[in-house]
Each structure stands twice: as C-alpha cells, then as structure tokens.
Amino acid sequence: MAETSSNNGGTDEVLVEESGSVRTFILNRPKLLNALSFQMISRLTELFYASEVDPNVKMIILKGHGRAFCAGGDVSLFFQEPGNWKIGANFLLKQYTLNYVMAMYSKTQVSILNGIVMGGGAGASIHGRFRVATEKSVFAMPETDLGHFPDVGASYFLSRLPGFFGEYAGLTGSRLDGAEMLACGLATHFVSSDKLPLLEQALVKVNTSDPDVISAIISCFSHIPNLKEESPCHKMKIINHCFSRRTIEEIISTLESEALDKKDEWISSTIQSLKKASPTSLKISLRSIREGRLQGVGSCLVREYRMACHVLRGEFSKDVFEGYRAIFIDRDRNPKWEPSRLELIRDDDVDRYFFKIDDEDWEDLKLPPRLDLPRYAIAKL
C-alpha cells in the first residue's frame, strides 16, 4: 500500500508517495495550477538528490494534483520588489539547477502530463526520460507574449524537435495537445486519462531503473492518437520553409508571402502571434534556440541563466515587466513593448543578452557535477 508523507501538517506543496522501489512526487498547488514556488523547487531538488543515492529507489513518478501538471514558475516573486532583480535570479538559479539534475538523472523519471504543461512545467518534465501525455494535455512555451524567452532548458529541447518545429513552438507560443506532443517528440507516450490509474498500479510494481523495461510497461497502456485536421504537425513543410529563415523579419516575410499564395487561416494566425509578441523576446529567443541546437543541456542552461538575468535587469528592454502587467495585473492583454518594432533592435542589442552580467556580485550558473552516469541518463532527447 502506498504511503503518503508530509512534513507540514498535510499542506505540503509537494506530496510524496512511497511504494516498493518507486517514489511518486505530486505537485500540490492545484488552485494555482501547480505553479512552482521557491519552496517547491527546493523540495523537489532535495527529493531527487535523496532518491538518487537511495539504493531502494529505482524510479520516480512526477505528476500534478488537479487539472494541471504545472503551469510554470510562480513569477509573482520576481516582481514583489521592483528593482531587486536578484530575487528572480536566485529563483531561476535554483530552478535551472533542478532542470539539470532531472536531465542528467541516473534513475528513470516518468512524468504524467495529464493537464496543463507550460513554461517551468515543461522544464520539470521534458528533461525526464518518459513523458506521458493524455487527451487532457496542453503544452505551451508562451514566454514571448510575456516579454521573456523560452527558458528552463527549452533552447535544448525545442531545438531537438523535428525540423524547425521548435522555432515555431517557441516563437509563437502555440498550444499543443497531447497527440501533437507525441507526434513532435515532446511526449514519449500517449495514454488515455481513464487508464492512468492502471498504468500507475503497474509502474509502482517495478523494481528496476532499466528504461527499456519501463517503456514496455507504459506501452502496454498507450496508443497513437489521431491528429486533428488543423494540427501544425500537418504543416511541417511550410514550418520548415518559413521558420528556417535566418532572422525574425525573414520568417515573418516568408509567412506573409505564403499567405498571399494560400488562403490559410493557420498562416494568418501564426503571423498575428508573432506580431503581437515582444520584438526583443522574439529576437533573443530565435538566437537562443539556434545556439541550443549546437549545445548540450548544461551549456544551454548556463546561457539561459545569463539571458534571464539580463531580462530581469531591464537595461535594454523592460518588456518582461510590461508583459507581467498586461497579463497578470491589469489583465488588459495589451502590452506596450519597447522597442516596439523589430527594426529598432540591432544585432549588438541582441548580443548583450548573451554576455556575462557586469556586476561584481554576479556569477555564471554553476551546475552540480554529474559523474559516472549510465549512457541513457544523458541521452533522453
């Protein structure tokens, strides 16, 4: 019988169930769509480290309570003290370190994505070995609408999706359902939500970290769902043609040329998504994903930490604060980006986001050493 442990009067933000050699970690802030707090990140890091050195633990299951797996990081912390960007930087340092531990974890992690998976929720799951989507899954990296950029290692996992689908998903913030997550590789399996209890019952009987054995068990409950007719997964030819362009301006121009030749609602909505996003965010996001294609997950996280610190400092653009105002405070969804147009942003403006921070108290992200790992622990995507 599973044991649920708690060290905070039953109100923990991360619940733990123990069953044989399996540990199930449950994100438990359902009213906030399981948005990751600083305490949750610290607790998950502690649990992952403890489970890795415990010879009795063979597998981790990670899931969310309620209708979300995890809708992202709790960014309200970043804006509680205007001007103190290091509060947000410290949060991201902890979060990116957790992402790296998950990406390089020596034991198998199964993430059950039965609901919303956005931003930081993607970082807590996509780096793991198995990602189980359902008909209730909704994935998105909507950061360019918030004046930010796809982080938590997204420049690593988006750049490894088929063709230039990662550029499309990361720049437009397009929402993908469970079938699309499976088709593009964000999910490794698709299981109907009504079969999840049976899947979990089978998984908790496992006494191995062998990913082939665990994959075979999940496959017994999984199937390949049909893609909806209007799915972007059916648009790979045009996505590759347009999103392979060198600059954001060229991507939009190519899409607009396609729109003249084809009366396609998907093309029009894609153009509109790009035009409403922060111009600065679009430019740094494209470069980040392109660099990520040539880097390992650790290098991607170190670079993203630099970029995020620049974003929070707001030296060139304060778009992240304007995006937060428009989405979360005033909720008018009408951000006033500055610079307001792509052509106002020079290459050297973009370059500065990739340099070290000019602050004597600031340091690059230092990731924990991960030694003597099995090959499958470093080749998940």
Q: Residue 51: which residues within 8 A CB-CB, separation 6 or more?
A: 23, 57, 60, 107
Question: Which of 64, 115, 120, 166 is flagged as catalytic?
Answer: 120
Between CA 20 and CA 274 the distance in angstroms is 49
CB 267 within 8 A of CB 275: no
- Tell me the residue type at 231: S
Other Cβ atoms less than 10 A from the Cβ of 220: the count is 11
Task: Choose among 149, 179, 182, 161: nearest CA to 283.
Answer: 149
**Considering all CA atoms of the chain, what is the largest pairwise distance in Å, rounded to the nearest integer?**
62
Whether 314 sits among the annotated catalytic residues: the reply is no
Give catalytic status of residue 120 as yes or no: yes
Residue 151 annotated as catalytic: yes
Contact between 185 and 161 under an 8 Å Cβ cutoff? The reply is yes
**Which is catalytic among the residues 64, 72, 73, 147?**
73
Residues 6 or more apart whose Cβ sits within 8 Å of residue 176: 138, 139, 140, 169, 184, 186, 232
153 catalytic, yes or no? no
DSSP 308: H
Given the residues 13, 74, 143, 304, select the one marked as catalytic: 143
Q: Which is the catalytic residue, given 12, 145, 151, 304? A: 151
Residue 346: CB atoms within 10 A of its CB come to 10
Residues tagged active-site: 73, 120, 143, 151
